[in-house]
Amino acid sequence: MRTVTLNNGVEMPILGFGVYQIPPEETERAVSDALAAGYRSLDTAAAYGNEEAVGRAIRRSGIPRGELFVTTKLWSSDAGEDRAARAFDTSLRKLGLDHLDLYLIHQPYGDVYGSWRAMERLHREGLVRAIGVSNFYPDRLVDLIDHNEITPAVNQIETHPFFQRTQYQELMRGRGVQIESWGPFAEGRNQFFTHPVLKEIAAAHGRSVAQVVLRWLVQRDVVVIPKSVRAERMAENLDVFGFQLTADQMAAVAALDTGSSLFFDHRDPAVTARLGTVTLEA
């Protein structure tokens, strides 16, 4: 598996397995299948409600902890220095682990700076190997970097052919932040799986549209965490290192960029009010 080197020297697999929207009762089986297929990076979150199932799958796998890269995320209702520290302990307990590889602030809302102080302390104590953020737009990311000791190692944001974040990726690269894609398949929107440009490139390589897009992201040095509940699709999504898109094919995908989210804008006051006030169940 190809890796990227984060700003503190930690190696992170460029392709992992995400469990967003997988029900808790299906998560253990899905993660077990993913680990059997060869995935070694797992991405979950307190808000997904399936950390315990991820932890059970890890224990059942028998894979040495040092071979795994485990990410989870802090939800907005747990923002703040003391609450973030407690939320981290809860996530660690649910996962059944003694440390995390990556801990992210899930949304750019609430007492982000208090949360970051807690995360910096957790990092110094060796309880998490790297810390970062998710869904931060450039202004919030730069502000966080400029007023804190540790620069986020990762920013996990919506990134797919219709919202490519190319300029933002360059800004992050200049600041030492690794871009990570969520929603690489745009949840099937904009006729993703039947899009003529993507289908033509896929046919040229004898690959699926999903494989082409994952390959496109990997060639852009974007970490990506595709999700599937089907073992055959998990294996297919992992098999993207045996071919390469040409410069013309990369340009054809680049031309699909709309420059706008297909889901929601975290700078929208309505989105802030909705996401920023959701409280997780205990």
Q: 3-260 sits in which CATH class?
A: alpha beta
Question: Count of CB atoms within 10 A of residue 236's CB?
Answer: 18
Element (DSSP H or E) covering residue 187: none
Is residue 48 part of the annotated active site? The answer reads yes
- pLDDT score at 279: 82
Rounded Cα gap, residues 125 and 164, in angstroms = 36
Q: Quote helix, strand, coil % in the chain, to nearest 5.
A: 50, 15, 35
Q: What is the pLDDT of residue 2?
A: 94
Closest among 66, 141, 51, 132 to 99, alpha carbons compared: 66
Closest CA to 210 of 237, 228, 231: 237
Domain ranges, ordered by start, for the chain: 3-260
Q: What is the pLDDT of residue 137?
A: 95
How many angstroms separate the CA atoms of 149 and 227, rounded? Answer: 33
Low-confidence ranges of the chain (pLDDT < 50): none
pLDDT at 273: 82
Q: How much is the pLDDT for 223? A: 98
List the structure tokens of 49. 């409600």
Q: How confident is the model at residue 282, as a pLDDT?
A: 60
**Overall pTM surpassing 0.85 (yes/no):** yes
Q: What angle do the packed helices 247-254 and 196-205 form, to 10 degrees?
A: 160
Q: Centre a 10 Å sphere on the Cβ of residue 182 and count the other Cβ atoms it contains.
A: 19
Determine the Cα–Cα distance for residues 53 and 238; give it in Å rounded to an integer: 22
Of 48, 103, 109, 168, catalytic: 48
